[in-house]
Amino acid sequence: MSDALEQALEAAFAEATRRYKERGFQRRIGFGSKPALISVDLANAWTRPGNPFTCEHVDDQIIPSMQALLKSFRKYDFPVVHVTTCYQITDRKNSNTDMGLWHDKIPVDVVAQSNPELWAIDSRIAPIEGEQLLIKKRASSFHGTYLAGYLRAAGVDTILVTGVTASACVRETICDGLADGFRTIAVKEAIGDRVPGAVLWNLFDIDAKFGDVETTETCLKYLDRIGQAKLASEKLAA
């Protein structure tokens, strides 16, 4: 992203922040007592070069942040859900397609279920045994899936959302997560997009209305705090 664009966005954010605060926006939802990690579309079609959906800053920002988060979630045995997107019928002329009408806007027809290499989670952050792999058909990880029920059954009250893209699937997942009663946390360095400026703008707007944007470092400290308390409680109960 160019310096000029970044400066223009920062100026817009400063003015928007002033207006929002005057009107009571940008409140904090806060962390809860049991988190889950929701990793959105960090599959090869989005993380590897040469695809229509390829995003920026995957190698230098998103993957390292995800690796740190996964290490902590696994250490404390908190739920992890890897979300990806693919379609059984990618013939745009077939009225039975599971793409719905989304293919009329974006090239979702390239992510065919018959080509698992495209929709497989990036091997650098691949699921391990006990972690959920959820396939969605629309932007939100909640729309038409079992995600909310799974999280409630696990006693989750807080979702740390990562992945791509900030302007679509991550944003929609956060909005629906809040609507379904979960504390929504957007992990700043672990969220990306294809378009310069899209991450900055969407994270600013999400933080004002739909969830708290927190750094990876802040999230790791939170996980350590509640994770250590969890281990201590389990030790006493043993």
Task: State percent of the chain over pLDDT 70.
Answer: 99
Handedness of CA 117, 119, 120, 125 (dihedral sign): positive
pLDDT of residue 1: 58
CA-closest candidate to residue 111, choices 133, 137, 134, 131:
137
Where in the sequence numbering do the catalytic residues fall?
169
Map out the domains of the chain with their CATH numbers. 39-237 (3.40.50.850)
- To the nearest 10 degrees (0 to 180), the angle between helices 3-22 and 198-209 is 10
Q: What gap in Å lies between CA 153 and CA 24, rounded to an integer? A: 34
pLDDT digits (tens, 9 = 90+) for 105-140: 999 999 999 999 999 999 999 999 999 999 999 999
pLDDT of residue 62: 98
pLDDT of residue 21: 87
Residue 2 has pLDDT above 90, yes or no: no
pLDDT of residue 98: 98
Q: What is the mean pLDDT of residues 41-53?
A: 98
Residue 5 has pLDDT above 80, yes or no: no
pLDDT digits (tens, 9 = 90+) for 68-95: 999 999 999 999 999 999 999 999 999 9
pLDDT of residue 197: 86
pLDDT of residue 238: 79
Q: What is the mean pLDDT of residues 38-48?
A: 98
Task: State percent of the chain over pLDDT 90.
Answer: 86
Residue 9 has pLDDT above 90, yes or no: no
